[in-house]
Amino acid sequence: MDHTQNILRNAGGKDPLLADFTALCETTTLQGAPKYALRPTMETLAKFICAQGNGPNKDMALFELSHLVCGVGALHGVTGLSDFFLAPNKATPAFYKQVLNGTTPGVSVSQSGLVLRYDDKSFEVRFGRMPFLVALYEFLCSMDGFFYYQTFNDLFERLLEGPPDEKNIRACSNALASDLRKYRIAYLNSAQADGKFSQVYKFLQDRFDEENGIILHDECVFDFWHLHNQGKDYRGYRTVFDLFCDFARAFEESRLATAAAHAAPLGLDSEAGEVDIASDLVADVNLDDWTSPFDIFDEDESGDIRFFKIKTERAPIENLMTYGPDALRLPLAFLRYEIFGQVQSGITTDLQVGRPKSSVEKRIACEDVQTYEERLQECQAILSHIKNLQAASLHVLNNSGGDNLVVFPTAAVERGAQAFSKMKRKGFDDQAMAHRDVFERAAHALVAMESQLVRYMKALEDKKVQTLFPQDREKFKSQFQLLYQEVRT
Amino acid sequence: MKRIAILIATTGGPVLVDRITPEPAPQSMMCLRRQSEVLPISLDYDDFVRAGSGVIMREFGPYEEGAFRLDVSGPIGTGLSWQLGVFAAHAVFKSKSCELSDLETADLIVWLSGTVDNDLNIGDVDHMAQKVEASAGMLADYIAKGTPIVFGAGVENAAFLSAHKPPGGIDVASLKTTRDLMDVLGLGTKDKDRGNTTFWMMAGAATLALGVVFAWSGLFPQEGEKPELEIKIPEAKPKLTIDIFSDRGQHPTYAFGEDLNLQVRVNRKAWLLCDYEQVDGKVIRIYPNDQVRDVQAFDAHTDHILSASENAPFRIRLGPPAGQETVTCYAREEPFRGSARPVNAAMDRMRVTLKP
Amino acid sequence: MTHIHPDLLEDAQQRFGELHNVREVMTKRESGAISLGRLYAYVQGAQDDAVQDILGRDLKVRRVYRSLLQKSALVHMPQALAASTQDYPERHADGCHIRLQASRAQSDQLYLIVEMSDQRRDMPQSLHLFGPDETMVRVALPAARNGVIQTIIERNSDAARLLGEPKTEIFLR
């Protein structure tokens, strides 16, 4: 397959990778809802396509996908394969759990996923992983205007010619990886990112301190924005925060990666940088990454239980939960992102929709902005709610039986019962005990949320952010006045 | 050959059965406006036609071709109320004495809504009021034109129609079985003896013989009794027109000193008002005028001489200045009030050339 | 607060590029492509103007479409081997008979008649025609009655043209 032709064909200014990704975002269910959740499914896919992740082998998912294709094909045949991967149903673990059934030699369905057995080995593709793998399948078959469809189709069909076989699965995943690599080379452009990286690095280098070396801290974000916000690339404070967020994360990951022992890549064609992605040595690479705990509450099964009120209990901490460790790395910069970034978004929207000048001016003056103290109080209130939810969930787990015995101290049992009875909202009633699995997943998410919120609040309190608010307001007001002075004249 | 327009009543307006064609196809189809668009009720139509499940082939067959294509003028939604109209259309199609017609050239318009069961009983259907309302605009023109119109429906539906003041020009036929329908169409046994009776008479006589055509006045609600629903069909009268002319034609020429000959004709009884506009722009009200003591409405379809040398209520002698002058006459069904030039009235103009 | 170690620069730059690309992909949108799932839904009968449009102008998409059809079609009639003397050759396969019949009422229209001999099987809802020149037409079919599906097509339509061509490959789905 000559990829050069493709590159030439697509040299019309459009970004094929973005178009392919957009196409997948636009795939819908029969009811017209997006088939794939933006988070975590599409985000995981984006990270995979852009080869972002830990470990020397970034294409492990292709090995999983090959297993999934092999298993589904063995259970449901070629026609069933298309239905499984392309059915216009919302891609959720529950859906795949529902449609996968039966047993064939070497393939069975367990409580947690699809299990393939070959050569005394066993490989499980978890239901939780399936929405992403299905999206990956569809992306691979659709990418570059279906350029690879036939090739991949043939690869998958060869997988189905016999019972699961490690050699075939490895061959399939390596072939997929090889073509995906070509696609990445053709369409993943690093030039722009390299330019931004250098720009930030130089900015930090200029602030080199003999004692501490180069340090990226909260004030760097504001200072960089202050310096560059007259240009079109960095007009938005939030854009600059994201830039520094990625920069800090890149160094953090790099540091951790260097510290950890690395397995040497096993190349099929090591000169070309290819690796055997099914190698046992890389199979244990930690694939976990931060995902918003709210994702758990977005699953279909959680829909009947109102853990959070959208406006008052979820929206205020949505970004904090999405950014996860990134927010904690630059807590004050993130607080500014939330408070003043929101003000700037409001200004932009006002200007786009042509709202009255008075509205814009009010925003520029940072009037009616939530203070840092108010923000902390809000976080504290939500933290209390999360703790109550934890207690109420534990009450459900304690009273709904289930396979796993849960033992709580008496005080916790009493507190759980109390919290549950006070939780006057949808789903916290007699029916709750029938949704043990939902509360079990929720309990895990609630613990993660508590931890994130506590760490964030502590970081802010350590910095005494309450005292910083008046000067921050003046700093942002002054920058907004400069940026949007044409509105004011 | 008598021409009958069959209208299938729907809530979206009446739908004309345009054409029936036997086709050598497995299924009968109902199509929209002779296009390839097949109506969703087509399969139900096929059932209605097919021997065994339906009545058309049984009652009117056999046909060499296995199926029919029935073209209609508009969409027909779900339900089965089209069956009565379709049955009537097939009856007309089968008949040697009549044929399906468009509305313009029809001798009789038959508006139908009802179901036909396997024993040929006619069933009542819903939404009659909406169907009548949706038909009002179209039918008004044909009432005015004088085309006989029969509304045919099941017994309850027909009673409902009769109870709600149908306007003149529409008869309601209460149909218990398709035999009653055949009589309305002039295809029943009773009518076969009637020889060359006109269609309107046939329809009327047949329904009277069955005792199901209601005398409108006798079935109107009693005084003080309010009908549940007022079915309003616009009063359809021919538009009032007025023509003015002279014994010298539409554009007469007169010499100074001659008398103006002004004649007028209206198509309905009407009150008149005429102005004379001189070359210099001066407007003189020439009718009514002081000479006319008894101003009355003018009868329709009669040439009335308004002004002439003889046999006219008054005489207008023409004089200088020379040039093009204009007579404008207005007609209205109510007397004119005041002297202002009327706005909403029928009008005609006659140009008069004046020479020395 | 993060310490920036210059010795990690190269590795960090690569990681930054990946993070940057992910952020771009997640936040920006570009039109012009369709996904396999959307094409599959169209194969299964969904109405989609964008897919219809791209099928009309992109041969590669048509080939993928055909491949999807081949996997899920109820009936497949490959190209006929022998030429036909009829204007509209009748086609037979797998308990299915497809023919065209001229309309008496409208000479510019044809009845498309699909007869399925086994009425217990799933009845097709669409007819897909692939001409030898790789043109493609989809005709939505009405419900079957007694194993017969009948609709009307225009005599000068692409569907009629392709049905008149023995080398047209036919799928019923």
Secondary structure of C7-42 in the HEC alphabet?
HHHHHHHHHHHHHHHHHHHHHCCCCCCCCHHHHHHH
Distance from CA of C127 to the nearest CA of A (A): 19
Question: C72, C106, C134 — which closes off a domain?
Answer: C72
CATH number of the domain encompassing residue C132: 2.40.30
Polymer length of chain A: 489
Cβ atoms of residues B218 and B231 within 8 Å: no
Give mean pLDDT, residues B294-312: 83
* pLDDT tier at B341, thresholds 50, 70, 90: confident
In chain A, what percentage of residues exceed pLDDT 70? Answer: 88
Predicted local confidence at residue A208, as pLDDT: 82
Residues C85 and C150 in one domain: yes
Residue of B166, B107, B109 lying closest to B132 (CA atoms): B166
Distance from CA of C155 to the nearest CA of A (A): 34
Predicted local confidence at residue B200, as pLDDT: 31
Two tokens at A470?
């008046």
Of C8, C22, C29, the CB nearest to A46: C22
Chains A and B are in contact, defined as 3 or more C-beta pairs closer than 8 angstroms: no
Q: Where are the beta strands (DSSP E) in chain C?
A: 2-4, 75-77, 91-93, 96-102, 109-116, 126-130, 136-140, 148-154, 169-172
Q: Which residues pair with B246 in a beta bridge?
A: B249
* pLDDT tier at B229, thresholds 50, 70, 90: very low
ipTM of the complex model: 0.87
CA B335 from chain centre, in angstroms, equals 28
Predicted local confidence at residue A129, as pLDDT: 95
- State the chains in contact with A (3 or more Cβ–Cβ pairs under 8 Å): C
* A54 interfacial to chain C (CB closer than 8 Å): no
- Distance of alpha carbon B284 from alpha carbon B269, whole angstroms: 25
Residues C4 and C53 in one domain: yes
Predicted local confidence at residue A68, as pLDDT: 97
Residues C68 and C87 in one domain: no
Residues C86 and C54 in one domain: no
* pLDDT tier at C84, thresholds 50, 70, 90: low
Q: Any alpha helices (H) in A311-409, and if so which ranges?
A: 315-323, 325-329, 331-353, 357-364, 372-399
* B29 interfacial to chain C (CB closer than 8 Å): yes
Quote the domain boundaries for residue C84: 74-172
CA A37 from chain centre, in angstroms, equals 10
Of C104, C150, C153, the CB nearest to B29: C150
Predicted local confidence at residue C107, as pLDDT: 92
- Distance of alpha carbon A86 from alpha carbon A90, whole angstroms: 10
Two tokens at B31?
């199509």
Predicted local confidence at residue B72, as pLDDT: 96
Give mean pLDDT, residues B115-142: 91
Two tokens at B352?
């008069």
Q: A251–C71: do the CB atoms touch at under 8 Å?
A: no
* Digit-coded pLDDT (tens) for A367-382: 889 999 999 999 999 9
Cβ atoms of residues A339 and A462 within 8 Å: no
Please tell me the total count of domains within chain C. 2
Interface of C with A in 131-150 (CB under 8 A): none
* pLDDT tier at B296, thresholds 50, 70, 90: confident
Residues C144 and C82 in one domain: yes
B188 secondary structure, DSSP code: S
Residues C127 and C165 in one domain: yes
* C57 interfacial to chain A (CB closer than 8 Å): no
Residues C1 and C66 in one domain: yes
| Mean of per-residue pLDDT scores for chain A | 87
Predicted local confidence at residue A110, as pLDDT: 94
* Digit-coded pLDDT (tens) for A398-445: 887 765 555 566 778 888 899 999 999 999 988 888 888 889 889 999
Residues C82 and C63 in one domain: no
Question: C49, C72, C95 — which closes off a domain?
Answer: C72
Cβ atoms of residues B319 and B284 within 8 Å: no
Residues C83 and C18 in one domain: no
Q: Can you tell me whether residue C54 is helix, strand or coil?
A: helix
CA distances (Å), origin C140, targets C53, C109, C111: 16, 16, 14
Give mean pLDDT, residues B334-340: 77
Cβ atoms of residues B102 and B5 within 8 Å: yes
Residues C86 and C61 in one domain: no
| Interface probe, candidates C26, C36, C54, C171, chain A, greatest A C-beta count within 10 A | C36
Give mean pLDDT, residues B189-209: 36
Of B25, B46, B47, the CB nearest to C101: B25
* C102 interfacial to chain A (CB closer than 8 Å): no
Boundaries of every domain in chain A: 3-187, 191-279, 294-488
Output B72 or B351, whichever has higher pLDDT: B72
Residue of A18, A5, A142 lying closest to C61 (CA atoms): A142
Print burial letters for C28-45: b (CB count within 10 Å at least 16), e (below 16): eebebbbbbbbbbbbbbe
| Mean of per-residue pLDDT scores for chain B | 82
Residues C154 and C166 in one domain: yes
pLDDT at residue C172 greater than cutoff 90: yes
Report all structural domains of chain B as residue ranges with CATH numbers, in order of start. 2-219 (3.30.230.10), 242-355 (2.60.40.2950)
- Distance of alpha carbon C12 from alpha carbon A271, whole angstroms: 23
Cβ atoms of residues A292 and A321 within 8 Å: yes
Of C18, C23, C36, the CB nearest to A141: C36
* B32 interfacial to chain C (CB closer than 8 Å): no
Give the Cβ contact number of residue B34 at 10 Å.
18
* pLDDT tier at A486, thresholds 50, 70, 90: confident
pLDDT at residue B158 greater than cutoff 60: yes
Question: C72, C91, C115 — which closes off a domain?
Answer: C72
* pLDDT tier at A53, thresholds 50, 70, 90: low
Give mean pLDDT, residues B226-250: 67
Residues C88 and C139 in one domain: yes
